[in-house]
Amino acid sequence: MIDLRSDTVTKPDESMREAARAAEVGDDVYEEDPTVAELEARAAELVGMEAALYVPSGTMGNQIAARVHTERGQELLADKESHVVKYELGGLAQHAGLQVRMLEADRGVPAPEQVADEYVEEDLHRPGTGLLWLENTHNARGGLAVEPERIAAAADAAHERDVPVHVDGARLFNAAAALDVSASDLTSPVDSVMYCLSKGLGAPVGSVLAGDEAFVARARRTRKLLGGGMRQAGIIAAPGLEALENRADLETDHRRARELAAGLSTLEGFDVQEPETNIVLVDVAETGLEPNALLERCRDHGVVASPFGPTTVRFCTHRDVSDADIEQALEGVESALNTA
């Protein structure tokens, strides 16, 4: 079975398994796990931040950031297709007591004039805007790699109004690879960033939330509140550190996504969005099949992918998919379409 559902399905390689076996550990709630401390220091350095916090998941990292940056009742500005809006179970309302002002943003990033227009100043009747939320890469818009200039322009507009900026960078290193810039180039204009170790980087578990020292100190308390305090976590942090120090060949994942997209675009009824990173979105409406029905056929032919909307299917390349797998996947999807 060729698994193109997500880059979260990758298995840890032997170097990661060995790192876990040999990890020096301590109680991380007491901040005594040396491996976690090393991971956090390195993770902060890579994105140009003062400090970082290891968290069990990207969703938890995002929810912590929202709670730390804001006061209950405030508004958060976000693109309407953001992961935090669509796929985090309303956590902004449940955990931080926030209301979301959703925007239709070009490439998922509000223009400076949008930030200015949608900003709400606090007064007797209105809670005010508390946070600008960005995403890079932008999952629901097809894995778009958002340029540093676009991020900086939005962040500057927010900062002019004393509004902090958070980036959901679950696939931040995919964006950096696609744009041929450093991860810190993408995060230098913002106040905090979350990025996943367990997606394209290939680690088995965990994400990182980074910002200045005061932010991370408050984030550590909020992590405990949400049940994310971990004890001898060095065993799972060590593979994450290995993933950071020996980063996966993300450019190859992107090439394979382009090759997959090119092949899928030749199939009747497929409207394929050109990928910028490792995500390929396909509108299958003209096939006459709903996504789940098509994917059931694909599974029968050895390929799994994800339904991603009423007429959309998502394919995601990753380190465990080879060139031969891409060729076989294309054959499988074509056979699925031709199944009576």
Amino acid at 293: A
User: Could you give the CA distance from residue 87 to residue 156 in angstroms, rounded to a whole number?
Assistant: 27
In tens digits, the chain (340 residues) has pLDDT values of: 999 999 999 999 999 999 999 999 999 999 999 999 999 999 999 999 999 999 999 999 999 999 999 999 999 999 999 999 999 999 999 999 999 999 999 999 999 999 999 999 999 999 999 999 999 999 999 999 999 999 999 999 999 999 999 999 999 999 999 999 999 999 999 999 999 999 999 999 999 999 999 999 999 999 999 999 999 999 999 999 999 999 879 999 999 999 999 999 999 999 999 999 999 999 999 999 999 999 999 999 999 999 999 999 999 999 999 999 999 999 999 999 998 5
| Cα 18 to Cα 28, 142, 225, 232, 283, distances in angstroms | 21, 35, 32, 16, 42
- Burial classification of residue 125, based on how many CB atoms lie within 10 Å of its CB (0-12 exposed, 13-18 middle, 19 or more buried): exposed
Identify the structural domains of the chain with CATH numbers, from first to last: 2-6+249-338 (3.90.1150.10), 14-245 (3.40.640.10)
137 cis-preceded (ω within 30 degrees of 0): yes
| Cα 328 to Cα 4, 182, 201, distances in angstroms | 12, 34, 24
pLDDT digits (tens, 9 = 90+) for 309-331: 999 999 999 999 999 999 999 99
Query: Which pLDDT does position 276 carry in this prediction?
Result: 98
- Burial classification of residue 302, based on how many CB atoms lie within 10 Å of its CB (0-12 exposed, 13-18 middle, 19 or more buried): middle
Query: Which pLDDT does position 247 carry in this prediction?
Result: 85
Radius of gyration of the CA atoms of the chain, in A? 20
Across 223-249, b (16+ Cβ under 10 Å) vs e yields beeeebbbebbbbbbbbbbbbbeebbe
Query: Which pLDDT does position 248 carry in this prediction?
Result: 78
pLDDT digits (tens, 9 = 90+) for 84-100: 999 999 999 999 999 99
Describe the chain by its helix, strand, coil percentages, rounded to 5: 45, 15, 40
Query: Which pLDDT does position 339 carry in this prediction?
Result: 84
- Burial classification of residue 186, based on how many CB atoms lie within 10 Å of its CB (0-12 exposed, 13-18 middle, 19 or more buried): buried
Query: Which pLDDT does position 340 carry in this prediction?
Result: 56
Q: Which residues contact 147 (CB under 8 A, 6 or more apart)?
A: 179
Reported pTM: 0.96
- Crossing angle of helices 250-264 and 323-337, rounded to 10°: 30
Closest CA to 200 of 227, 225, 175: 175
Concatenated DSSP letters of 47-71: TT-SEEEEES-HHHHHHHHHHHH--
- Burial classification of residue 107, based on how many CB atoms lie within 10 Å of its CB (0-12 exposed, 13-18 middle, 19 or more buried): middle
Closest CA to 128 of 137, 115, 119: 119
Helix (H) or strand (E) holding 271: strand 271-272
Closest CA to 110 of 132, 126, 92: 132
At 282, list the tokens: 């396909």
At 37, list the tokens: 């401390």
What is the maximal distance between C-alpha atoms in the chain? 64
User: Could you give the CA distance from residue 135 to residue 145 in angstroms, rounded to a whole number?
Assistant: 9
pLDDT digits (tens, 9 = 90+) for 29-38: 999 999 999 9
